[in-house]
Structure 1
Amino acid sequence: MGVKRVTKKFLKYLIPIFLVLLIIPFTDRRAHKRKENPFGSEQVRCAIRLGDYGKLSRGYLAGYHYEMLKTFIGSIGDSACIFIGEEGLPYADSLLKDSLDILVIPRKEYADTAGLQIWSLGDTNVVWVMRDSPNLNSEYAHWLIDLNGSSLHSSAQERFFNGFNPYRKHSERNREIISPYDGLLRKAAEKLGWDWKMLAALVWTESKFRIDTRSPRGASGLMQVMPATARIYGVTDLLDPEENIKAGTALLARLQRLYSDVAADRDEMTKITLAAYNAGPGRIADCIRLARAQGVDPSTWSNLCSVIPLMSQEADSLAGQDVLYGPFRGKETMAFVKAVLNQYDIFRGLPPRFRMTVDTLETESGDFPPDEDFAEMILMAADSLQRDSLSLEPGIVVKEEEKKETPTEQPTGHGQSSKGLSGR
C-alpha cells in the first residue's frame, strides 16, 4: 500500500510538470512567431542618416546606433539590413510606403508626420523614426525598458562615447578604451601577429573608427575596404565592423607574406605592409625592383622611400628601370605610413614621431592638432587623389623573377591606380 501511495503522489505531480514542459515550447514558439513580424518584412530595413550631426566631436554616433539597431532587431528574432542613408532622399515617404522600417536621423530634421512615431535612446538629439503601430510601439518600449540601465547598454555607452576621441571634450575619459571595437581589434591583431594598438592605429588613420566613412573611390567602413576585396574574402556587409575588420586583416596577412623574405625584420615588414595596404602590392613591387636596380637595399622602408622620388618620371624612362606599372608619386603613401606610426605612438602614450600638416603632410615632430576638419583633410589626402580598386586576385605573388609582360589596364591598391598587378 505504501508503494502505491508513493506512486500515486508521484504521478499526481509528474503529470502536470510534464504537461507544462510540453506547453512551454509551444508558447515560446507562438511568442517568437508574434515577435518575428512586427515590421512585416523579411529583413528589418534601416537607414542611418546623421549628416552634419554625425561629426566625430559628438562621439561615434553611427557605430553606436548601428550596434543598437542590431541589438533591438535581434531581440525580436529578426535580421537587419542597415545602410548609411544619403542626404535629400524622402525617407519619411519610404517609411509610410513600407519600403523602409527604421530611420535614424537628427531630431531637428524630423517634421511631425501622421502615421510615424519617434523614439530616442536617451540622446534626444538623435531619434529612431518608425511607423506608428501598437504592436511595434509595444516591442520597442519593452526593449527600451530592458536596455536602459543594463550592462550591455552601459558598456556600449562607455565604448562609443568615453574612450579615445581627440575631437571631443572629455570630462571623464576612460584611457583604457582606444576604440569602440577594441575587442575585435585585439582578436584580429593576434591572428595577424601584430600589437593590437598598431592595428588600431591603422584603423584610426583609415576611418577614425567611423563605420560610415566612405571614400570617393568606394572604399568603405573601418578599414576602408573596397567591394572587390570584400568579395575575395567572403565579406558581404562592409558596414559591419566585424566583417570589415575580417576583410582588412585578411588582406594585411596576405601582404605580410609577400614581404616576409624582403623585409629586414618584423618592424620593417609591418611598415612595408602598411605601404602596400595604401598603394597596392604592384606599386611596392616596383619600389623593390627599382631599389635593387639602383643598388639600394630594399629591406627597409626608409630605403624604399629614398627611391620613390625617382618613380615620378615619365613612363618610358621608368620602363627601362624595372618599373612595370608606370609613374608613382608616392608622397601620399609615405605620409600614410607616417600617420599610422604617429598614431601607434599616441596609443602607447608616447609623443608622435612626426608632425603632419595639410600642405606637406609632414614636418619634423609634434602632435596632431585637435581639429576635426583638419583630420578629415589628412584622412582623405591620399584617397581623394588616387584610391581606386583594392582587389587582390588569388594566386598573385610578387617575385623578382616575374616576367615583364605587357600590363593591361587594371585598378590596383588602396591608394593608387596602376596597371597589371592589382592591389587592395
Structure 2
Amino acid sequence: MAENLNCQYGAKCYRKSEEHLKKFKHPARRTNEDSASEEDESDLTSQPSKRQKLSEDQEADCEEQNQLPSRTEELEEEELEETCPIENEDADENPGTPPNIDIQEELRLKFKVEMPQDFFDFWDYCKSINPAKPSEALKEDIGLVLGGPYDVMAGRLKCVKGQRPNYLLHHRFFYDPPEFQTVLLGDEKKQHHLGYYRDEPQKVPVFIASNSATEGCTITTQGENIFAAVKLHIDRLIKQTKDKKRLEGLKKVDKSLTEWAKKSNHSLEAKTKNMKGRDKKVVTKTFHKAGIVVPLDSTGVGYRELPETDGDLKKILKKIVESETEQVRARYSDSLQEIITLIQFANDECDYGQGYELGLDLFCFGNERFHSMIGMLLSVAYQLLGREEFGEILDAHLKEREKDNVSKIL
C-alpha cells in the first residue's frame, strides 16, 4: 500500500497508531481539547443583562422558534436510510464499518450526537483483546459488555428485511434522560449501565455516568472518559474480590487498560479539573442528582429556583398519582399547575432553567401520567436553550418508554 494514500475517514479518522498514520494522509483535524476550549470560551451568554420581560417582537420570535422543528422528518428519513448498514450475517465475526462510510457521521445521524475520541480508542482496546467479538472482550473478567452505539460499530444494529431499528431508543433505559447515552452494560438484574452525560448535544460529553434502572433514577459520575469509568469499576471489583484466580484476571485487565489509556492520552482520574469546573456551573441537582447547566448572564438571569423543595414536589406528585379521591387529586394538581404558570413567566424573562428542572424532575418521577407535561416543558426548554436534538430523543422515548425491553437489535 502506497504511503501517501489518503485515509478513507479523512479528518474524522479516530485511529492513532503510528503504523496507520505512516501509511495514510489525514487533513488537519479538531481535537477534544479544541472543543473543550470552545466550551470554556462560550460560558458567557448573550442573555439580557437585566431581568425584564421580553418585548412583543421577542415574544413573537420565541413563539415562532417553539413551532419550528430542528429538521424535517423527510430529511431525517433520508439520512438514516442512506447510512443504515446492509444485512450482515457474519457481523459478530467481522466487526467494523463498511468501507467508504464515515463512521463518525453515521453515528451522529443515528444518535443525534457526536462520539468523542475515547469512544473509538476504547473500541480499539477491546479489539486488541478479542478481535472477533470486541463487544464481549471484558464480559468474562469484569462483567461489562459494549452496547448502544458500539452495536453499530460491531455491525449488530442494522436494518433487517426493510425494518429499521429505532437508534435513539437502543439501550435507552427507563430513567435515562436525553442527556444520558448508554455505551456499557453491566448487571442485568439491576439494569446497571454506564454512558456519556452531555449538557449540550453539540458538545463533547462532560463525564461518564452510571445508573441502575431497577433501583431508581440516580445518575452517578464515573470519570471523564470510558477508560476512567472502567478503571473505577475494576478498582471496586478488586476491593470486593477474595478469589485469587479472579483477582489475577482483574489485575491483568487493569494493567492493560491503564497502559492503553496512557498510550491514548486519556486520564484515569475519577474527578478531573474539567469535571470540577462543571460542578461549579451546576444550577441545581434535580431528582437524578447529576445536575443541569444553563447559560447565566452576569446578573444570574437564566435560572430561578422552583417554588417547592424537592421533598415537597415529590409529595405533590405522589398525591396526584396515589390519591383515592378526585377532590384530593385536583387540589394537588392545582398546586402543580401554579408552578407551571410561574415557569411560563420565567421563560418570558429568560430564566429557561426553571422549566428545564421541573421537566426533568417529572421525568425522573417516572409516572406515565406526567408524560404529556414532560413533553411540553422539556421541548420548550430544549428549544429555548438551543438543544433541539435532546428534544428529538425525548419525544421518541416518551412514545416508547420501556422498563425491560431496551435493546433494539432486530
Task: Give TM-score scaled by structure 1 length.
Answer: 0.25
**Higher gyration radius (CA):** 1
- Relative contact order, CA 8 A, sep 6+: which one is greater? 2
TM-score for the superposition, normalised by structure 2: 0.25
